[in-house]
Amino acid sequence: MTVRSRRLFVLPVAAVAVAFMTLPGTPTQSTAKQVDPSQIINSADYWAAHPESEGALPDGNAIYEGANDQAFRNYISQARALSQYTSKTWKSEGPFNGVKSIPSIGSGAELFGAIGGIGTAIAVDPSDSSGDTVYFGTHGGLWKTTDGGKTVHELSAGFERSAVGAIAVDPNNPNNVYVGTGVSVFTLSDDAVGTGMYVSHNGGQTFSRPTVNTRGYGVNAIAVSPNTGTVMVGTTYGLWRSTNEGATFTKVPLMTNATHTAETPRAVGNWVTAVVYRPSDNNEVTVAVGYSRGKEPLADGTVLAPGNGLYRSTNDGAPGSFTFLTSTSQLKWGIVTPNFKFGSSSDPVGRMSLAYGTARGQDGVLWALVQDAGRAAGHTIADTPALPAGLSATGGSVLNGVYRSTDDGATWKLMATAQTLTTGLACSTCAAGYLIAYGAGAQAQYNNWIATDPVNPNRVYVFLEEAFQGDVTNLELTSVVTWRAFQKYANLCGFLLYPGTVPGQNSASCPEGVPFFGGGSTHPDQHAGALVPTGDGGVRMYAGNDGGWWVQDQHTVPLTPPSNGPGFDNDSWRDVNKPNTVLPWNVDFLQNGDIIMALQDNGTIHLKKDGSAYNVCGGDGVYALPGTNSNSYYCGIPGHTLLATTDDFHHTVIASPSTSGASFLSPIASDLTDGNHLIAAASEVKETTEGPNSDTYDPTNTQQLSSTWKVVFTPPAPTDPALVTSAGTKIPWDASAVSVTGPVAYVAFCAQCRPSLSVGPSIVDPSHVHVMIGTNVKTNCTPVKAGGACWHRAASKGLPHQQISGIAVDPKDARRIYVSLRQYIVLGANPKATGYQKVMVSNDAGETFSDISGNLPRADAHSIVLRDNRLVVATDVGVFTTKVGSTRWSRLGKGLPAVVYRNMKIDRTGRKLVAGAYGRGAYTYDFGSAAQTPPTTIPKLPRTAPPLATTGSPVTWPVLGAVLLAAGLLTARRRRRA
């Protein structure tokens, strides 16, 4: 083990006094320009030494200013400047070669293919006539294949951030490859902040980042002119242009205000979702501005995105050459009669995808897939009369429709809606729409791309939750589209009946031949793709969805009319998921050293030591919890649905706590000292000691008959009058982190838990993000498992306006806890308003907190563990460690990819650490020996009230500061007298 030497930074007594009189976590103002990084001992010194990091974020909420990318660049620079604690290398554990679905295990009856992480972007090398050379993007990086996906290799090792949002290859010089980082589809959830554009001039062998770059936390679209080589880039902060092969980028203003006379000042009002060049006129470029919630107003009435719509330049995208296409107003529809009405909302244009016809004779044919912004913002359209869910005006859908123009966008015709797509053959969500109220386009703001066939001029492909093939038939003056799904949601018996109607059993798959319901699938939720001629007259499709990347060649398909030619079907996909690209929300060890991971969009998986993995639970995985042995564990699904097993999910049981107020990420945890002891928290705290036997259900598994989950604590309601939703309802407490070891338990509460553009009028003011600690560690009270006697609200003084993401309890003293903090910078939260603290300590069971962030990069911290006398924290920019009592952080080991680390756990011996690399699976670090105090140690409880000197109370700092200041003044006086 190698540790760099440390230099002690000694301040004069008076200076120390001034620093101590500053409240913990509050940066002091300083005129210092340079400070030796080795001498930095606290956050105030750090920010005084790095004014450029603080100043990179403007006043107000940064999501409006597009500053998130620059903030991340600063955090990355800070991380790279830190020393390295040991030279050990992290090990990639996988999963490799995709995650398998085994029909007899857990959710395997859904019959997904070998899944990977989300496929986000793609570009085909036009110089390869076979269609085999392709660049793929994921949250975990950039990948390339030269054999049609049979083998792939990574190209993104030098990227500052590995999440890829868009890719383009210069059609005249395929050595020029342009990659945009940052994935931005939701403005929350699985979005990932990027650091702009990266450029290669040697076919992807090496990349560089232009100094004069784009702005915006995600790159959504890139287009390269075949005529001039001009590069046009659409980001979350507008349109950008390069005329020198990506050496520099300049912003191109679009007239996105309400009158289309100037650019709207809000970043989201310039959210570019698509950029296309007209094939027959490479000086004509069309841009779609499409923030998904459109004209949704803030509390003060400010409209976020007044100018959603289409913009066009006929001068190769030059600044000042774009005009608003008034035909945007045609992208709406409605049917109104005296007894019947439905259609798009009053704000119909949200996120859009565009595609020109690419086959012969399709010049001027332009397609648009349009999401309805009003519906995403909560508008509803009344159905008269009321229709079944699958055919209703909303149908659970936020889709506006599919539009076609035959005159290059001058006029538009509606070609499909959520309702007409339900007529598509083999559409599984259409068949199930009546049961689950999930119409086509239910997530059109998330799943949204469109493409045309390069050979068949009458075919279009629409990708939403499922993929649809549309064949256009011209009947005199009316065009009719026949739709057929070829990439369906799931095997619907496995999907709808999971986790089974027989107690203790997993669901069964529908037989292959059952229409709509039978057969397997790749994965729901389609994001990107490409169609390319294969040189033999055929066409190949590459498609990316929540399950990774897939490929299929056109062939004769049953049910397709012969006149329509070859097509694609649901059963002929081949996966391209060889690398480890999954997105872990939560990771943990089983007792035998295997790893369980809860994955974004891909349930929970069991990862074996050889890198192979299989699904054990479906849905969105958010928590994976070890049980009493390596075959007994739990899967947490959003909203505190908890599934359990005692035999590695050959049998599944429901053990849900049914907690009041549970949200998507409300936490739940198991006790390493007792795998049957569970704790769950939302607006209340519940515990059970019965593990998989906590709930009893009726024979159909639909009605809970009894439960051993007990409410042990309900915190007092938030008092902030601003905590109301846009509908006027009170926002309650939710929970963001829990810790339980033996009888010792802590819960972090928050209200509102994070700034969000979809909650209520207080969302843009971080002062309305409140945080507190609830715990059963109380002086003169002995806690017990699942008992409420000692639970109380701690004062929680000193905590900032951020969300607590992790809690680590000192086994030597249950009163001492360490917390990690996050503010969701992907949403644009500004540290000037939310606070700079990322790691804090309380020595009095959560009554008061002190900042120990020191020189830690101020990126969001998502998880924290304590191993013997050393803290380890997982953040957006890496994993870092410091000795207890120090604020000097170092990078832990080497070899981690440049992705977010959302969770981290230590094994029961304390020897190994596993981190969830968001987009790159599981990575482990081996300390080389077991911990002196293993994680299964029950923290020592206090017997009497702690002495004042041992607390972390900020109240003591002014007192101590005054004493030291007096001592300094007295010394100065004596010197003067001398």
Place of tokens 């080795």: 38
Q: Do the beta carbons of residue 794 and residue 802 sit within 8 Å? A: no
Dist. CA 596–CA 94, nearest whole Å: 11
Show the tokens assigned to 3: 């540790």
- Judged against a pLDDT cut of 80, whether residue 29 lies above it is answered with no
* Mean pLDDT of the 230-250 span: 97
Residue type at 952? G
Pairing of the two strands 613-617 and 99-100: parallel
Show the tokens assigned to 408: 């290059």
Strand partners, 670: 678
**What pLDDT is recorded for position 501?**
66
Q: Positive or negative, the Cα torsion across 501, 502, 505, 508? A: negative
**What pLDDT is recorded for position 81?**
95
Q: Positive or negative, the Cα torsion across 567, 569, 574, 576? A: positive
**Residue 848: DSSP 8-state:** B
Strand boundaries in 752-857, DSSP class E:
770-775, 792-793, 803-809, 817-822, 839-842, 850-851
Q: Name the nearest CA neighbour of 819 among 802, 832, 795.
A: 802
- Read off the pTM: 0.89
Dist. CA 549–CA 582, nearest whole Å: 12
Residue 5 or 912, more confident = 912
Give 230's pLDDT tier (boundaries 50, 70, 90). very high
Place of tokens 């309400």: 258
Q: Positive or negative, the Cα torsion across 355, 358, 360, 364? A: positive
Q: How many CA atoms lie within 13 A of 98 on its CB side?
A: 23
- Judged against a pLDDT cut of 80, whether residue 326 lies above it is answered with yes
**What pLDDT is recorded for position 720?**
87
**pLDDT tens track for 625-638:** 999 999 999 999 99
Residue type at 176? N
Sequence-distant (≥ 6) Cβ neighbours of residue 4 within 8 angstroms:
83, 84, 890
- Judged against a pLDDT cut of 90, whether residue 944 lies above it is answered with no
Dist. CA 781–CA 788, nearest whole Å: 11
**What pLDDT is recorded for position 51?**
40
**What pLDDT is recorded for position 5?**
26
Report the side by side order of strands in the sheet with 653-654: 623-629, 632-637, 641-645, 653-654
Output the CA angle 15-3-883, nearest 5 degrees. Answer: 55
Dist. CA 187–CA 68, nearest whole Å: 12
- Judged against a pLDDT cut of 80, whether residue 971 lies above it is answered with no
Q: Positive or negative, the Cα torsion across 254, 256, 261, 266? A: negative
**What pLDDT is recorded for position 479?**
76
Considering 12-16, 550-554, 703-707, 760-764, the range whose residues carry the highest mean pLDDT is 550-554
Dist. CA 523–CA 118, nearest whole Å: 10
**pLDDT tens track for 607-658:** 999 999 999 999 899 999 999 999 999 999 999 999 999 999 999 999 999 9
What is the rounded average pLDDT for all residues in the chain?
85
Buried b vs exposed e over 808-841: b needs ≥16 C-beta within 10 Å? bbbbebbbbbbbbbbbbbbbbbbbbbbbbbbbbb
Dist. CA 620–CA 163, nearest whole Å: 20
User: For 253-262, 510-519, 589-598, which range has the lowest pLDDT when averaged over its residues?
Assistant: 510-519
Residue 382 or 10, more confident = 382
Show the tokens assigned to 381: 């359209």
Rg (CA), the chain: 28
* Mean pLDDT of the 922-926 span: 98
User: For 374-383, 554-563, 688-697, 946-955, which range has the lowest pLDDT when averaged over its residues?
Assistant: 946-955
- Judged against a pLDDT cut of 70, whether residue 299 lies above it is answered with no
* Mean pLDDT of the 848-855 span: 98
Give 207's pLDDT tier (boundaries 50, 70, 90). very high
Strand, coil or helix: 69: helix
**What pLDDT is recorded for position 474?**
80
Q: Do the beta carbons of residue 567 and residue 554 sit within 8 Å? A: yes
User: For 37-46, 601-610, 763-772, 847-856, which range has the lowest pLDDT when averaged over its residues?
Assistant: 37-46
**Residue 208: DSSP 8-state:** B
- Judged against a pLDDT cut of 70, whether residue 819 lies above it is answered with yes
Residue 848 or 424, more confident = 848
- Judged against a pLDDT cut of 50, whether residue 217 lies above it is answered with yes
**pLDDT tens track for 143-186:** 999 999 999 999 998 899 999 999 999 999 999 999 999 998 76
Strand, coil or helix: 207: coil
- Judged against a pLDDT cut of 70, whether residue 589 lies above it is answered with yes
Sequence-distant (≥ 6) Cβ neighbours of residue 572 within 8 angstroms:
552, 553, 555
Dist. CA 759–CA 756, nearest whole Å: 6
**What pLDDT is recorded for position 423?**
72
Strand, coil or helix: 926: strand
Q: Name the nearest CA neighbour of 118 among 178, 162, 69, 63.
A: 162
DSSP structure string for 434-472: HHH---TTTTTTTS-EEEE-SS-TTEEEEESSSEEEEEE
Residue 190 or 296, more confident = 296
**What pLDDT is recorded for position 803?**
93
Residue 173, burial from CB neighbour count under 10 angstroms (0-12, 13-18, 19+): middle
Q: Do the beta carbons of residue 744 and residue 941 sit within 8 Å? A: yes
**pLDDT tens track for 490-528:** 888 888 888 876 767 788 898 887 877 888 899 999 999
Residue 974 or 796, more confident = 796
**What pLDDT is recorded for position 187?**
53
Output the CA angle 797-803-806, nearest 5 degrees. Answer: 95
Dist. CA 477–CA 479, nearest whole Å: 7
